[in-house]
Amino acid sequence: MRRALAVIAGLCCAFFVFYTVRLLVVTGFLTRLRPGGGGARIGAVVFPLLAVAFGWAAVHLWRARERTIA
């Protein structure tokens, strides 16, 4: 069960890494923003944080040992 959750967290991490790169490419590393484009700046901060959080969760879930009930 933990390994399945680790895979899901890893996929979420990959998604947010992709979206961070996409955001930076589309906006020219935040140099070409529309007026009122504060959402891009927020995304440039939040997406990498989510990628790190999901990556951390994936690693820890993958390495965690299954608890056995005796």
Work out the pLDDT band at 64, boundaries 50, 70, 90.
confident
pLDDT tens across 30-51, in order? 998 888 888 999 999 999 999 9
pTM score, whole prediction: 0.85
Name residues whose C-beta falls within 8 Å of residue 57's C-beta, 6 or more positions apart in sequence.
Answer: 6, 9
Instruction: Sketch the domain layout of the chain as residue ranges.
Output: 2-63
CA–CA dist 64, 45 (Å, integer): 29
